[in-house]
Homo-oligomer: A and B are copies of this chain.
């Protein structure tokens, strides 16, 4: 599945935070992003590469900076993967779940 890379990219808290940052504050150069993390810049570059290869960000050269921009469309795939599970947590939250389990397992 192509979405493997997307799920793998989301496994890192750092990468999720980068996405949240780009979502809330718009496109940013690497330095501004790196300033938020207690990590050497080349390490962040690695994370950005993972996000790029998952299609979750794109880069655009502006002078000697590179603006990284959120590309949210692949996240739609994650959302769709979750869909079949939604009724389960809904049932749980409404207290209906235990009843259905008894039916399933009998």
Output the nearest chain B residue to A26 by Cβ-Cβ distance: B104
In the bound complex, do residue B89 and residue A76 qualify as a contact, i.e. CB atoms below 8 Å apart?
A: yes
Count copies of this chain in the complex.
2
In the bound complex, do residue A78 and residue B75 qualify as a contact, i.e. CB atoms below 8 Å apart?
A: no
Chain B residues within 8 Å of A92, by CB: 72-73
In the bound complex, do residue B23 and residue A84 qualify as a contact, i.e. CB atoms below 8 Å apart?
A: yes
Q: Is A88 among interface residues, defined by CB-CB distance under 8 A?
A: yes
* Cα A4 to Cα B1 with chains together (Å): 22
* Cα A89 to Cα B75 with chains together (Å): 8
**Interface locus among A10-18, A30-38, A40-48:** A10-18
In the bound complex, do residue A88 and residue B11 qualify as a contact, i.e. CB atoms below 8 Å apart?
A: no
Q: Is A93 among interface residues, defined by CB-CB distance under 8 A?
A: yes
In the bound complex, do residue A104 and residue B27 qualify as a contact, i.e. CB atoms below 8 Å apart?
A: yes
